[in-house]
A and B are shown apart, each in its own frame.
Chain A
């Protein structure tokens, strides 16, 4: 298995633009997590899904953030409109039986 695959690896966008981050979890994993990592706040859980259903989105910072999981092999995290304070590394992780495996992350820079 190729592991959790995220795209793009790097994204630079202008303030106000829409940004979409993508994630392909490990096949057979029934949980999917979106995290944000910054120097100031460390790792923050934004939202997680179980069997494609959002379970807890209390970590989503604002309505500008939304996440979907239309099927077991794909998820997106969208920011619209983006702001400079959204600049961070965004990780997707998938899990089965308790152990979470992470993708390589997307480094987002909003200028």
Chain B
């Protein structure tokens, strides 16, 4: 069975600085998706970025980028130029590529604090 581990329960960063949130996963599959979701105090889960395992290029969305290391089964999220609005819980998630399995496997989350 697949598992997702986020080893940092909480991280803090100064506004405008860069922070990296870590995520590791375990799977025997070769094709899969990885996601980062953000949950601000408003509690809605918002998709931040996604990565297909077959793509070697790291995904980027504006200030958010990932460092995807397939062999190491690592999928970290880098937030550049941190803003107060980035304060939230961040969840890493895994999904099999198989059409028959749309379940997301979730990490425990990392609480990100932005210091003004």
Contacts and interface: CB of A to CB of B under 8 A. Distances in A.
**A associates with B:** yes
Interface residues of B, number: 18
Interface string B72-93: 0000000000000000000100
Contact of A105 (B44, B91, B108, B109): B44
A16 to B, nearest CB: 27
B109 to A, nearest CB: 7
Interface of A: 31, 33, 42-43, 45, 48, 50, 56, 89, 91, 93, 95, 98-105, 107
Nearest to B32: A98
6 residue pairs, one from A and one from B, having the closest CB atoms: A102-B45, A104-B44, A43-B106, A31-B102, A105-B43, A98-B33
Interface in B36-69: 37, 42-47, 50
23 contacts: A31-B102, A33-B102, A33-B104, A42-B106, A42-B108, A42-B109, A43-B91, A43-B106, A91-B45, A93-B45, A95-B102, A98-B33, A98-B95, A99-B47, A100-B102, A101-B47, A102-B37, A102-B45, A103-B44, A105-B43, A105-B44, A105-B45, A107-B43
| Chain A binding surface, main DSSP class | strand
Contacts of B102: 31, 33, 48, 50, 95, 98, 100
